[in-house]
Amino acid sequence: MFNIQKVFADEIVIENNYIFLADESSSENQAQTNKVFSEKWTKSRERVDTLAEFQKKWYLELYGFNDEKDLSSFLRKKKVIFDAGCGLGYKAAWFAELAPESTVIGMDFSEAANIASQKYNYENLYFCRGDIAHTGMKEGEIDYVSCDQVIHHTENPEETFKHLSSLLASQGEFACYVYKKKALPRELLDDYFRDFSKTLSNEELWELAEQVTELGRRLDSLDCEIDVPEIPALGIKEGRLPIQRFIYWNFMKCFWNNDLGKDISVDTNFDWYSPSNAYRYTKEEFLDFAKKNNLETTFLHEEDACYSGRFLNK
């Protein structure tokens, strides 16, 4: 059996599958980010299975795996797997199922880590509440770091990337996702909100998320498209778009997805507007993270909302 202590620099305390680490942030923005994610995950924990189904399919696309079998054979070659920012832990649990001989550690800075440790009890799976920018892990001990939809919520994503890279063993791999920079009007509104959201209570943030979701739903129900002209100075791209998508990508996030339904759409808007930390990047900035840490880019994926990639420690 794998000795989990080997991964950590200092002596750790474990109870069942839970590793106790320092779990508070001294930074105001990171503390606010942790608070709103604790709120989100506590409220939405019963929807985790619906969320997981959608997210697992998307994970395969984001990181270039053909199917679950392909991911499984990849993971089985990785002895120690770190799900950095694991949220409710369904991906860490998925990795642990797909690679039963590997050891998986899921870390999150919010209450989600405790919730995850209660829900998933596998011999090869551990959870801890802590900062993925300061893990207390030894350098060179991790074979696969998966940091999916998280790094932009940390206090200094470039430093977090550096720390996570340093954990990689030789030939270790790092899968990472960042938010993409969007059109200027949308960036301005989003930046404004990073400051404003700090002044709102959780109730007010949920109310806002409900209202924005309703706007998304109403726009989506319009059977109407627009031929958008190219406006380079504002970062607005030409093309034919449903009106909801036009507003969404260029002016304000108002997520609505008929298949996922109202509750998950509200969760998604809450997730966007509430955390103080939510940085966005260009492709060059993202690839530069890897270059600066001497990692080779082996896979890159791009969507309207994000970049994701796999990076190898040669």
Question: Rule CB under 6 A: which residues touch ligand SAM?
Answer: 30, 33-34, 37, 55, 85-87, 91, 107-110, 112, 131-133, 148-150, 153-154, 271
Nearer to ligand SAM, 32 or 102 (CB): 32
* Cβ neighbours, 10 Å, residue 255: 24
CA 232 to chain centre: 29
Q: Where are the alpha helices (DSSP H) in the chain?
A: 28-44, 48-62, 68-76, 90-98, 112-119, 157-166, 184-196, 202-221, 243-250, 261-273, 283-292
Q: Which is nearer to ligand SAM, 212 or 219 (CB)?
A: 212
Nearer to ligand SAM, 25 or 244 (CB): 25
Residue 17 beta carbon to ligand SAM: minimum distance, rounded to whole angstroms: 18
Task: Give me 44's structure tokens.
Answer: 């939405």
Rounded to 10°, the helix 184-196/243-250 angle is: 60
Least distance between ligand SAM and beta carbon 114 (Å): 12
- Side-chain-side CA neighbours of residue 268 (13 Å): 18
- Smallest gap from Cβ 146 to ligand SAM, in A, equals 8
The answer to whether the beta carbons of residues 289 and 240 sit under 8 Å apart is no
Minimum CB–partner distance for residue 84 and ligand SAM (Å)? 7
Give the separation between CA 103 and CA 92, rounded to whole angstroms.
Answer: 10
Query: Shortest Cβ contact with ligand SAM: which residue?
Result: 87
Cβ proximity to ligand SAM, 177 vs 246, nearer residue: 177
Nearest residue (CB) to ligand SAM, 143 versus 148: 148
How far is it, in rounded angstroms, from Cα 199 to Cα 216? 24
What's the closest the beta carbon of residue 300 comes to ligand SAM, in angstroms? 19
* Minimum distance of ligand SAM from residue 82's CB (angstroms): 11
CA distances (Å), origin 235, targets 61, 187, 227: 26, 10, 16
179 within 8 A of 190, measured Cβ to Cβ = no
Q: Which is nearer to ligand SAM, 19 or 236 (CB)?
A: 19
Is the CB of 55 or the CB of 72 nearer to ligand SAM?
55
Helix, strand and coil percent figures for the chain, each rounded to 5: 45, 20, 30
In the complex, least distance from residue 110 CB atom to ligand SAM, rounded to whole angstroms: 3
Report whether 314 contacts 179 (CB < 8 A). no
Pairing of strands 296-302, 306-312: antiparallel
The Cα 87–Cα 130 span in angstroms is 12
We find the least distance from the C-beta atom of residue 58 to ligand SAM, in angstroms, to be 9
Name which of 178 and 295 has its Cβ closer to ligand SAM. Answer: 178
